[in-house]
Amino acid sequence: MYKRSSFNSDEIVKRAEQLMNAASNRYRITVRVAKRAKRRRSEDKAQDNLEDPLMTPPIRAIIEMSDEVTQPEILVE
């Protein structure tokens, strides 16, 4: 049996909406999410990282990118 995932699907939907609302071009932000998810998937395969099987690369990309939009201070070091 799978263990329950550590994320809330309603939260993912809200974050995706935030990304879409913040973007000037919906197509472009969708492509950026897809590219980040693809990169993330290849990184995960290289590391054999299976922390949470339900936390897919597209969901991780949405979470990361919405954090970058709503909390730009996390990008500043």
Asked whether residue 16 is domain-assigned, the answer is yes
Q: Is residue 4 part of a domain?
A: no
The reported pLDDT for the residue numbered 73 is 57
Whether residue 60 lies inside any domain: the answer is: yes
Task: List the domain range (segments joined by +) for residue 62.
Answer: 9-74
Q: For residues 43 and 17, what is the distance between their CA atoms, to the nearest angstrom?
A: 26
User: Is residue 27 one of the residues assigned to a domain?
Assistant: yes
* 76 or 12, greater pLDDT: 12
Q: Give the SS3 label for residue 3.
A: coil
In a domain? residue 35: yes
Number of separate domains in the chain: 1
In a domain, 15, yes or no: yes
Residue 3 has pLDDT above 90, yes or no: no
Q: What are the DSSP calls for 16-69, one per residue?
A: HHHHHHH-S-HHHHHHHHHHHHHHHHHHHHHHT--S-TTS-HHHHHHHHHHHHH
Q: What is the pLDDT of residues 21-65, one digit of tens each?
A: 888 888 998 999 999 999 988 877 666 655 666 788 899 899 989
pLDDT of residue 8: 81
